[in-house]
Amino acid sequence: MFTLRGTWMRGGTSKCWLFNAVDVDPLIPQAGGLDAILTSAFGSGDPRQLDGVGGGSSTTSKAAIVRRSSESGIDVDYLFAQVAIGDRQVEWGSNCGNCATAIGLYALQSGFVPVDSAVTTVRMRNQNTGAILTAEIATPGGMIPTEGDAAVPGTSALGVPVGLTFAGLAADTATLLPTGAPAEQISIENHTYRATMVAAGAPAALFDAADLGLTGAEDNRTIAEHLPLLLRLRRESSLLMGLSKPGDPITHAIPKIGVVGPPVDYRTSAGVDIDEDDYDISVRMLSMLAPHPAIGLTSAVAVAAASTVTGGVVTHNTRVRWPGSLRIGTPAGVLDVDLTTSPDGILESVTLHRAARRIAVAELFVTGPAPALVGLAR
């Protein structure tokens, strides 16, 4: 057994355990690697993560290792971990915008950055993908906030307002479109599914909901009925995007996979009625092996990027757009996205308005892994 200090944060609609690299690095040799530390700490190998701090869902089984950056112009580097639940595995191939929101506030509250007298900017680099993000947090009079009144779709909990910006998303169209085409077609069992595949925020494949017999505004129970097909489409998309090769182990973190459709009237998971005029495009995403209860921020960035692709699936389904903004209809409600583009239409940055809160600072007592459970115990 060993002890590990950590901070439990909520960022947007995710919960993340954040660890200072100073505390983690010395433990790696004795624990048998970073994967072993996290899967043991989270209780992975049990669908309930009963003997650890994992939350038993993809949005609550997340971690990040945060360190001061040695790079000029960057305040902190962070390594994001999507910790598996029923298996003792960690996905290292992606980023998480909700956790980045939490990391911005964590860096401020933990003294990684000097406090400004008005607004403090935290410049972050995601080590998994190389993505550069900035978090802006109001610090009037140099006061560091511990609570706030900002809300986001998908939770009634309030938190400290955080403006999160993804910058340097794509140098050109070739960088944005890994297959080189604004739309691709995948055929499965004599049926063709159209998708726009982008690499911005996170690699994502966004399929036309109509090809699946959907509108894109269904509830998650309906989306779950299409899970086997969506997982097959994720695998085929991964091959087309060059993220994997035939015979490689199947991963579930990337590419992000989802369906998009035009705005229609729908009801959120909280029972709120949304009018078709209140948003621009319907989006339903997967999170690992289940429908996402809202939308991951890296997926939202990917949707925003795809909305700039002429001839793409997202552009085809976007009904109304205000210059510099995109309103995304999700199961939890409407997410507003601000975007800037270059004169030639290349996406330069995406900003989302989020909320974060520190839940706990704790010392974890981490044991070695127990035998994996085959099924749920009663």
**Whole-number pLDDT of residue 374:** 41
Q: Tell whether pTM > 0.75.
A: yes
CB atoms < 10 A from the CB of 4, how many?
A: 20
- In order of 131, 147, 192, 206, 239, the CA distances from 198 in angstroms are 15, 36, 19, 8, 14
Residue 178 clears pLDDT 80, i.e. is over it: yes
- Helix (H) / strand (E) containing 134: strand 132-138
Q: What is the mean pLDDT of residues 190-206?
A: 94
Label residue 369 by pLDDT band (50, 70, 90).
Answer: low
SS3 219: coil
**Whole-number pLDDT of residue 370:** 53
Label residue 371 by pLDDT band (50, 70, 90).
Answer: low
**Domains of the chain (ranges plus CATH)?**
2-168+357-366 (3.10.310.10), 173-345 (3.10.310.10)
Label residue 373 by pLDDT band (50, 70, 90).
Answer: very low
Residue 39 clears pLDDT 60, i.e. is over it: yes
**Whole-number pLDDT of residue 232:** 95
CB 254 within 8 A of CB 202: yes
**Whole-number pLDDT of residue 194:** 98
Q: What is the mean pLDDT of residues 157-164?
A: 97
